[in-house]
Chain A
Amino acid sequence: MADNKLGRQTVTFKNFPQIYTAFSTAGKKEGRGPLGNWFDSILEDDKIGQKTWEEAETKMLKDTVVGAVRKAGIDKHEIDVIFNGDLINQLMSSSYAVRELGIPFLGLYGACSTMSESLIMAGAFVNAGYSKYAAAAASSHFCTAERQFRMPLAHGNQKPPSAQLTVTGCGCALLRESEGAAGCCEGKPVYVTGGTIGKIVDKGINDTNMMGAAMAPAAVDTIETHFRDTGRDPEFYDMIFTGDLGKIGKNIVKDMLGKKGFDMTKNYEDCGCMIYGEDQDAHSGGSGCGCSGSVLCGYIFQNMKKGIFKNVLIVSTGALLSTISTQQGESIPGIAHAVAISTEKERV
């Protein structure tokens, strides 16, 4: 019966759920970066008038969802379900943001892979007809992540070149069934055509300053599986984006996939490498759910609307560690999910 799957891990959406609108928010530093012009909203200061950093992230996420809803010209009560996640314990920011929105909520924890994960889930719900409108969102905030996973902000220390910077940012994509959706919103329609659900890959890295190296093998596994399941190759896509591998992880992906016979040198980028400029002292690059979230809902989505990208594969990557596992000396389990997005109704 499972006629909407390819291989073991790839799903295909034959009803072509459409990304109706997408809204991206970025922090002050990210707003000054090379992608500054592509974000829908840039925070003037990262605390946005709230008492705590967690409240600030909650507000950022809520405003982003509201932004996507407003763009669509619908009421938030028309959204049937929101798939949503962040990095903070027990999905604090997501739950508190949704508390005030009154949208049926399924929380997801995929660490920094959450944007792909939520997009696959929202796509599946719309494709199956369970939802007319489904939202997919992910957020991260430098200051909330720093205090949970690392050191207090005012603590003086030095980080190695392999370290990454958690992005303050957020993305929300609003999906709806493509029937009857034509003619709305400017630009080309953007469809989620399918996705490949990743397996956990752990090569034994336990240095939390080596996230790129810890997650890269998971991205390699998922991308390779995607190509094998679908029969596609890197050339099929105009661009392939990984979530937040940074410079080191990106080079590892190129090298490992190159050795497997997939040429990733031409059309592959990493959102973590794109979001900060060389002069922004981001070491290896950006990380966090908001990294691929804000880049996908800003830069990538808008470029697809304009018709510059036709077929895109987004592979958000996550490090599924916890503060406890780190202290107990466990290695970092990596995960990556791939989502195929297209401006054409072409089945995966």
Chain B
Amino acid sequence: MKKSKNEKDAKKRYEEYVSRFTPGSRSVSNGIKAFVVGGALCSAAFVVQNFIQQNFGLESKEAGTIVTVGLIFAAQLLTGLGLYAPLAKFAGAGVIVPITGFANSMVATAMEFKSEGPVLGVGSKLFQLAGPVIVCGISVSVIVGLIYYVMGIFDFKLPWV
């Protein structure tokens, strides 16, 4: 239903009134926790990547892939053990934004919808949370690709590249 201007004003007034009673999220402490945990996670991943690169004679790209797979595995295992949700509650974006969040969203749905069967449950719901992320990711990459292509036609280069 389309809302009239009066209704919108009333809604806005009530939201302002409600905000007086609503405690805000602890953005600063949440941000610090996310920064520390996320930073530590990514630093540790790099240490492992360098270690693999030096000791097993792999290219940096290959070593990177192995580390990525390791992170996905770890997130999935923690989800299965029921430890990921409390970790994410604490660290927030620190573990949700890296690939670990994506891995968690798939295993969590698989576990949740197991009760509806392997096909109609797990099969149809597996990408319930991850699906929109993939769709948005691909859509944005297409748009960026088009911009890049047009820039190429006009031989336009960004000054800082």
Contacts and interface: CB of A to CB of B under 8 A. Distances in A.
B41 to A, nearest CB: 13
B109 A152 contact: yes
Given A204-B11, A204-B15, A205-B14, A156 B89 contact: yes
A157 B91 CA distance: 9
Interface stretch (A13-21, A68-76, A114-122, A158-166): A158-166
A203 B109 CA distance: 34
Interface residues of B, number: 36
A268 B129 CA distance: 41
Contacts, number: 91
Interface string A120-158: 000000000000000000000000000100011111111
A161 B23 contact: yes
**Interface residues of A: mostly helix, strand, loop or mixed?**
loop
B48 interface: no
A52 B114 CA distance: 9
Interface string B67-97: 0000000000001101011011100100110
A248 interface: yes
A203 B96 contact: no
Contact of B85 (A53, A155, A161): A155
A259 to B, nearest CB: 11
A213 B10 contact: no
Nearest to B33: A158
A210 interface: yes
Contacts of A161: 22-25
B21 interface: yes
Given A151-B129, A153-B112, A204-B11, A158 B22 contact: no
B10 A162 contact: no
A252 interface: yes
Interface in A215-266: 217, 248, 251-252, 255
Which of A51, A158, A161 has the most chain B CB within a 10 Å cutoff?
A158
B30 A158 contact: yes
B115 A53 contact: yes
B105 interface: yes
B18 interface: yes
Given A203-B11, A203-B14, A154 B112 contact: yes
A204 B6 CA distance: 12
B38 to A, nearest CB: 13
Interface of A: 51-54, 147, 151-158, 160-162, 203-205, 210, 213, 217, 248, 251-252, 255, 331
7 tightest Cβ-Cβ pairs between the two chains A and B: A156-B88, A204-B11, A152-B112, A154-B108, A155-B108, A152-B108, A52-B115
Interface of B: 3, 7, 10-11, 14-15, 17-18, 21-25, 30, 79-80, 82, 84-85, 87-89, 92, 95-96, 101, 104-105, 107-109, 111-113, 115, 129
